[in-house]
Amino acid sequence: MDKIKNEGIGMKNILIFMTILFATVFLLMACSGAAKQNGSHDDPEVESVENDESAPDGAETDGSFDSVSMEDTSSNDEGISTEDSLSGYTSEKIEYARVWLQVNGNKDVEKLSVLHISAGEQLNPYDDDSVGYPEDVIVLTGNAMADGVITYSSNGDGTINVYDVPSHWPSSQQLEKSMEDYTKAIVEGTEQVSVGNGEDDEVIRLIGKINSPS
């Protein structure tokens, strides 16, 4: 009897020990799971470290890359202007074409010649009594005399000074006043004209007809 009684007590102790062991293991697992869950969602320091690891050096993690990308795109869009189609031409030739279209308006001229005249040179090179130009000027002429002549100087602000120089000079006998007075009146009567951009296709087509080294 004593032997059976001792065996019963031993089995009881084993059951108690196993129960305590299982309870301890369960509590440890529960605490570990709770700590892991809290660490992945509630700890701001962990989130900061994870974000810093995923972001490139020197970059913010608040969407700044998307912002920069949008700014670059808008900048490129703004850079696309009507001037892009004229980027392959010199500013001088663009000016000649625009001035001709603005002042003369003959889009069908066959050829456009450009002549540069320095300040001091006579308006009428065929008469010694002619006064000289007070500034450097540019002369645009068409292929034929009927196409007209434009003599002007640029002010650099979108305006030009147009000199009413005739395409064919009259002789002194044909004038009621001297050639000096006649040419002086041309210099003093210059007209300031604003030059618009015009249509790009018309400007390009006219540039192709310019006979000028510049």
Q: Convert 120-156 to b/e letters by CB count within 10 Å (16 or more is b).
A: eebbbeebeebbebeeebbebbbeeeebbbbbbbbee
Q: How far apart are CA 26 and CA 30, in angstroms?
A: 6
Judged against a pLDDT cut of 70, whether residue 80 lies above it is answered with: no
Q: Are strands 210-211 and 112-117 parallel, antiparallel or unpaired?
A: parallel
**Within a domain: residue 85?**
no
**Within a domain: residue 86?**
no
Boundary (domain end) residue, out of 79, 111, 140: 79
Boundary (domain end) residue, out of 79, 103, 119: 79
What's the pTM?
0.59
**Within a domain: residue 148?**
yes
68 and 121 part of one domain? no
136 and 196 part of one domain? yes
127 and 207 part of one domain? yes
150 and 67 part of one domain? no
Lowest mean pLDDT among 11-15, 41-45, 164-168: 41-45
What's residue 54's pLDDT?
46
**Within a domain: residue 17?**
yes
Contact 156, 113 (CB under 8 A): no
139 and 162 part of one domain? yes
pLDDT digits (tens, 9 = 90+) for 85-95: 898 899 999 99
Cβ neighbours around 86 below 10 Å, total:
19
Q: How far apart are CA 63 and CA 70, in angstroms?
A: 11
156 and 57 part of one domain? no
Judged against a pLDDT cut of 50, whether residue 67 lies above it is answered with: no
**Within a domain: residue 38?**
yes
Judged against a pLDDT cut of 70, whether residue 55 lies above it is answered with: no
Q: How many domains would you assign to the chain?
A: 2
Judged against a pLDDT cut of 70, whether residue 156 lies above it is answered with: yes
Section 83-104 average pLDDT: 91
59 and 109 part of one domain? no
**Within a domain: residue 84?**
no
Give kind and range of the element (H or E) at residue 157: none
**Within a domain: residue 15?**
yes
Boundary (domain end) residue, out of 36, 53, 79: 79
pLDDT digits (tens, 9 = 90+) for 106-138: 888 999 999 999 999 999 999 999 999 999 999
110 and 182 part of one domain? yes
179 and 99 part of one domain? yes
Q: How confident is the model at residue 78 (pLDDT cuts 50, 70, 90)?
A: very low
137-141 β-sheet, strand order: 191-194, 159-163, 149-154, 137-141, 112-117, 210-211
What's residue 6's pLDDT?
52
9 and 33 part of one domain? yes
189 and 102 part of one domain? yes
**Within a domain: residue 113?**
yes
Query: Where in the sequence is the domain holding 110, given as residue range(s)?
Result: 91-211
50 and 143 part of one domain? no
What's residue 145's pLDDT?
79
Average pLDDT, the chain: 76
Secondary structure class of 3 (helix, strand, coil): helix
Query: What are φ and ψ of residue 108, in 5° steps?
Result: -100, 15
